[in-house]
Amino acid sequence: MQISEERLRSDIEKNASFGAIEHEGHGRTALAGTPPNGSARDYFVERLEDAGLDVKVDAVGNIVGRWVPKTADPNADAVAAGSHLDSVREGGMFDGPLGVYAALESVRAFQDEGVAVERPVEVVCFTEEEGQRFGSLLGSSVASGQTSVEDALAHTDDEGVTLAEGLETIGYAGDGRVNAEEWDAYLELHIEQGRRLESAGVPIGIVTGITGITQATVNIQGEANHAGTTSMTHRTDALAAASEFILDIERAANHTVEAESESAVGTVGREIVSPNSTNVIPGEVTLGVDIRDIESDSIANIVRDAKKSLERLEDERGVSTSYVTDLDINPVPMSDRCQDAMRQATEEMKLDAPKLPSGAGHDPMRIASVTDVGMLFARSKDGISHNPMEWTSWSDCATATRVLGESIANLASN
Amino acid sequence: MQISEERLRSDIEKNASFGAIEHEGHGRTALAGTPPNGSARDYFVERLEDAGLDVKVDAVGNIVGRWVPKTADPNADAVAAGSHLDSVREGGMFDGPLGVYAALESVRAFQDEGVAVERPVEVVCFTEEEGQRFGSLLGSSVASGQTSVEDALAHTDDEGVTLAEGLETIGYAGDGRVNAEEWDAYLELHIEQGRRLESAGVPIGIVTGITGITQATVNIQGEANHAGTTSMTHRTDALAAASEFILDIERAANHTVEAESESAVGTVGREIVSPNSTNVIPGEVTLGVDIRDIESDSIANIVRDAKKSLERLEDERGVSTSYVTDLDINPVPMSDRCQDAMRQATEEMKLDAPKLPSGAGHDPMRIASVTDVGMLFARSKDGISHNPMEWTSWSDCATATRVLGESIANLASN
């Protein structure tokens, strides 16, 4: 199957012009339901129509272009593929658009070469994946039935504008609901947003699952006191206790990587110290903890170690502590059938495609609750994403798109 | 020697009414050169005059009340004692005023009982000890010749008001300069601002010296990255490195306490994490380090251990670090002669008066450069200071004042 790198690049570059910002690299700000997002959608719908696809926009703005070639049974469940066109503030050009235009380019390649698929193929753009205005994974939550159309439309941004109003403004308040349950499978190509593929020196990887995540707020109370007049033996230093906790989290994650699951990660990314003055012993520290893995057992083990650490600090240092879970999402495995279809494609192309987990959340997390899903990652330069410096070479984009196309063909021919 | 607890209490309570704030306890805000400080000075000058002392106000507002009884040689160097009347914002009623009024009460007790001192006695109020408007220890820096009158008067507050203007406003821009070099000795009674005396169950302690202090800003640079997509083996976590450093400082201080000098303290009181988001591995951490002791060797050893820790973290964790010294003040020992005079007083009174260092800076730090100085600490409830809850019982105030008076008498009779 022949992918047109030029056609793919032209679409992604044109898409990047909507909401483009002045910055080194290729930055854009195209939040869901804003005019740049509207222009990007208009261009996408034109491209779908140019390729002869039937376009449908649902009530929450999800766009689907449906292709039913003569070889396909129009009543068979479709194989769907896509991603999203909304960006974060000052984001990059590939996160989302690569997956949308790779799906469309796959269909155009099928058309060019007369690939005889037996199922309809649908090219999908989900609304508001990033969640920078109305909440993340919103379009896919509706398509998978986890959020109702009414609830989604009532989500508001910081100014109190609803998703319904945002979509109305840009002309993408459609009808009905894209129902992912009707899909035979859903595939998505996305940039990796990490360095594993770059480190491995390969352009593409097959995602085994989207990691589960638990986030917690940990509070440690000691006693604020004069740093000069309070002897070492009379202090209850909340920051020293917090420092032990941070290293305990790191140790627990490293131990889990060695013993159980190499994809496990544990991070303390946020720390607020009070009163935070050089000459005062810290009286209170609040920490933001983030633990993820593809295996829920690993997450549970690190959480258990975190709580043990706090108990120990209470005993040994006399601090008071609390651990409040803010977020708790289970790991979402990708379907074996979809991984097999992608593995078959890479083997035929003689590509080394390592298996890897996705540490970030994506629309397939939602879609996996109603049909088989698979994800491909394309190599990211320096692992940078959500940043104008985000970069995947055009040749990697083309290679990854060809793997996506072959995988869709594999699934659509069964 | 008989101290009037009632007279002492009346003066300190009256002083606390100037700038009094609504708060549990006894709060006041009487920053140097503000109207509440002016009223407190007016009341103090009246009290000095009531006791028959000659009052002098110098160009930077330092106030001295001089008493030359018939038994004294008017040409002999005076024994001086006092403290300050300015407060921090929302400070307590004892920090400063106790020392000022205890010195005056000592003279009144000498007068009541006809104590035959052979040297003049001077009761001193230094300008701007706290440094909340124009810079700390300002009056005593001028009295000891470390800062010129002109330089001190040109110091400005946050609104650009000079000390000269502040003093003019409250009517305390006097003439000349109190010259501490002309004093035979200077004694100061101050609240402890720590818990050592409370822990020891005694009302008073003899200060061995004012601790030296070094403060530094430590910067640790790692690499900010996605907490979900960056594996444990690919991270350079600035916060984990900073946590090791914080524990290394604590360990070095504890080791110094055990091996060399029990008064040594090492604190990281300030920590700024960037970007400080739960789902991002910290890329940069800035720390404020505070190290103090009465022994300069101990300070040097902890600083050396801190720098070794940073070198180790660069090697082991791949972070970049910097250590910038912001403040470096040598320890100031109190004179043996003054400590002996105080020891003799407490022994005669059959008081157990432990030796202890002062972890906070005080005017005697400056005066020690030109004459013999001694300090007494009175027990502080819960070690609280710079706070409306600051408290020393009236009976402790009276006991401490009697020790001060006996010590002045011991020095003034030689």
B280 to chain A, any CB pair closer than 8 A? The answer is yes
Q: Tell me the two tokens of residue B244.
A: 């090791």
Residue B290 has pLDDT above 80, yes or no: yes
> What is the model's pLDDT at position B236?
97
Residue A223 has pLDDT above 90, yes or no: yes
Element spanning A74, H or E: none
Confidence of residue A27 (pLDDT cuts 50, 70, 90): very high
Dist. CA A100–CA B403, nearest whole Å: 85
List the single range of A273-282, A349-358, A404-413 with lowest mean pLDDT. A273-282
CATH architecture of A5-210+331-412: 3-Layer(aba) Sandwich (3.40)
CA torsion sign, A126 to A127 to A129 to A135? negative
* Preceding amide of A354 cis, omega within 30: no
Residue A19: exposed, middle, or buried by beta-carbon count in 10 A (0-12, 13-18, 19+)? buried
A278 to chain B, any CB pair closer than 8 A? The answer is yes
Confidence of residue B239 (pLDDT cuts 50, 70, 90): very high
Q: B75 forms bridges with which residues in the sheet? A: none
Amino acid identity for residue A117 in this structure? V
Length of chain A: 414
CATH architecture of A212-329: 2-Layer Sandwich (3.30)
A288 to chain B, any CB pair closer than 8 A? The answer is yes
Tens-digit pLDDT profile for residues A110-152: 999 999 999 999 999 999 999 989 988 999 999 999 999 999 9
Q: What is the DSSP string of B64-115?
A: EEEE--TTS-TTSPEEEEEEE----TTB-SSTTHHHHHHHHHHHHHHHHHT-
> What is the model's pLDDT at position B277?
87
Chain B: residue whose CA lies nearest to A384? B225
**What does the angle CA B45 – CA B46 – CA B50 come to, to the nearest 5 degrees?**
120
> What is the model's pLDDT at position B140?
97
CATH architecture of B5-210+332-412: 3-Layer(aba) Sandwich (3.40)
> How much is the average pLDDT of B367-380?
98
A277 to chain B, any CB pair closer than 8 A? The answer is yes
Contact B123, B100 (CB under 8 A): yes
CA torsion A254-A260-A261-A262 (nearest 10°) is 50
> What is the model's pLDDT at position B81?
98
Q: A354 forms bridges with which residues in the sheet? A: none
| Residues contacting A350, CB < 8 A, separation 6+ | none
A290 to chain B, any CB pair closer than 8 A? The answer is yes
Confidence of residue B314 (pLDDT cuts 50, 70, 90): very high
* Largest separation between any pair of C-alpha atoms in chain A: 85
Per CB-CB distance under 8 Å, the chain B contacts of A242 are: 243
Amino acid identity for residue B229 in this structure? T
Q: What b/e string do you get for A297-325 counting C-beta neighbours within 10 Å, with b at 16 or more?
A: ebbebbbebbeebbeebeeebebebebee
Question: What ipTM does the predicted assembly reach?
Answer: 0.76
CA-nearest of A223, A227, A256, A258 to A238 is A223
Of chain B, the percentage scoring pLDDT greater than 70 comes to 100
CA-nearest of B206, B131, B150 to B356 is B206
> What is the model's pLDDT at position B414?
67
Residue B400 has pLDDT above 70, yes or no: yes
> How much is the average pLDDT of A33-56?
98
Dist. CA B140–CA B125, nearest whole Å: 9
Dist. CA B156–CA B169, nearest whole Å: 14
- What's the first-to-final CA gap in chain B, in angstroms? 18
A349 to chain B, any CB pair closer than 8 A? The answer is no
> How much is the average pLDDT of A353-380?
95
Nearest CB partner across the interface for A213, out of B199, B228, B232: B228
* CB within 8 Å: A194 and B231: yes
> How much is the average pLDDT of B6-20?
98
CA-nearest of B186, B212, B143, B152 to B358 is B212
Q: How many CA atoms lie within 13 A of A267 on its CB side?
A: 34
Dist. CA B127–CA B134, nearest whole Å: 10
Dist. CA A1–CA B80, nearest whole Å: 98
Residue B141: exposed, middle, or buried by beta-carbon count in 10 A (0-12, 13-18, 19+)? buried
The domain spans of chain A are 5-210+331-412, 212-329
Residue of A232, A317, A319, A365 to mutate, testing the B interface (most B Cβ within 10 Å of its Cβ): A232
> What is the model's pLDDT at position A226?
85
Nearest CB partner across the interface for B232, out of A215, A257, A270: A257
Chain B: residue whose CA lies nearest to A270? B276
Residue A414 has pLDDT above 80, yes or no: no
Tens-digit pLDDT profile for residues B58-68: 999 999 999 99
> How much is the average pLDDT of A346-368?
95
Q: Tell me the two tokens of residue A38.
A: 């509207």
* CB within 8 Å: B239 and A211: no
Closest-CA distance, A121 to chain B, in angstroms, reads 31
B282 to chain A, any CB pair closer than 8 A? The answer is yes
A325 to chain B, any CB pair closer than 8 A? The answer is no
> How much is the average pLDDT of A53-81?
98
Contact A214, A291 (CB under 8 A): yes
Helix (H, G, I), strand (E, B) or coil at B357: strand
